[in-house]
Chain A
Amino acid sequence: MAGRPQKKLFSRKKVCRFCADKEVEINYKDVKTLRNFVSERGKIIPRRIVGTCATHQRQLCEAIKQARHIALLPYSGSSQG
């Protein structure tokens, strides 16, 4: 439709979960936490969507890859597939 494009329709400030809650540590053995940061297909969700800060995203990325290596997380597909 015509008209000027609206700027942000829904803008919610994203906060890095690990900065907000200092108790949560990033560890490759903690599969429950890591599951929140991978998609259903097992891909790592980008920072622009989950809103983690650069430092923590880097650590998270490392942890997910380690967890994948030791078969705690899938490389692709769901845990069943």
Chain B
Amino acid sequence: MRRYEMIFILRPSLGEDEINNIVDYSKQIILDENGIIIDLNKWGMKKLAYPIKKEMQGYYVYCEYAGTPAAVSEIERKFRIDDAVLKYLTIKTAESITEEEAQLAIGETEARNAAAQEAAQAETDDDSDEDADDENSDATETEEDN
């Protein structure tokens, strides 16, 4: 198996269901070919650097997986047919990956996601008492300088 990462851009006008539908069928293709999904991340709505099919915005989905070349060609064939997919990009990141390595990578992404979530939560906590924090940090800084 090879390790791939894939990004595709969907039309911004799609509903939640349609987005999930596209994500699900691409997932299904990977799994049908005995692949393993390492990471699936919806980046959400982003501004495009240039218009694609007259759209200025797009819904980005990022997916990392271990799979076979057949799965890649099948997914890309589907994307080409599907009108809702504006653009896609698949990049091979490793020539070969074993099942164990893939499982390890899954663990890593989970750890990363958990850390990111914690950071986000800490940030929201900080925001609530931002003023108090700022004053405190200023005071400590001046002390250090002296």
Q: Is the CB of B89 within 8 A of A79?
A: no
New A-B contacts (9) at CB < 8 Å, excluding given A28-B91, A71-B49, A71-B58: A29-B62, A68-B49, A69-B87, A69-B89, A71-B50, A72-B49, A73-B49, A74-B49, A75-B49
- CB of A5, distance to nearest CB on chain B (Å): 43
What is the total of A-B residue contacts with beta carbons within 8 Å?
27
Q: Is the interface of B mostly helix, strand, loop or mixed?
A: strand
For B7, list chain A residues within 8 Å (CB): 70
Residues of chain A at the chain B interface (Cβ within 8 Å): 28-29, 66, 68-75, 77, 79
Asked if B97 is at the interface (CB within 8 A of a chain A CB), the reply is no
Q: Which residues of B contact A (CB under 8 A)?
A: 7, 9, 47-50, 52, 58, 62, 87, 89, 91
State A49–B47 Cα separation when bound (angstroms): 30
Indicate if the CB atoms of B9 and A70 lie closer than 8 Å. Answer: yes
Judged by DSSP, the binding face of A is loop
Residue of A nearest to B52 (CB): A71
Q: Which of B9, B49, B87 contacts A79 (CB 8 A)?
A: B49
Q: How far is the CA of A77 from the CA of B52 in the complex (A)?
A: 15
Which residues from B are CB-within-8-Å of A71? Answer: 9, 48-50, 52, 58, 87
Instruction: Check A70 against B87 for contact (C-beta < 8 Å).
Output: yes
Q: Are A66 and B50 in contact (CB under 8 A)?
A: no
- Whose C-beta in chain B lies nearest to the C-beta of A62? B91
Determine the chain B residues whose CB is within 8 A of the CB of A79 once the complex forms: 47, 49
Interface centre among A68, A69, A73 (most CB of B within 10 A): A69
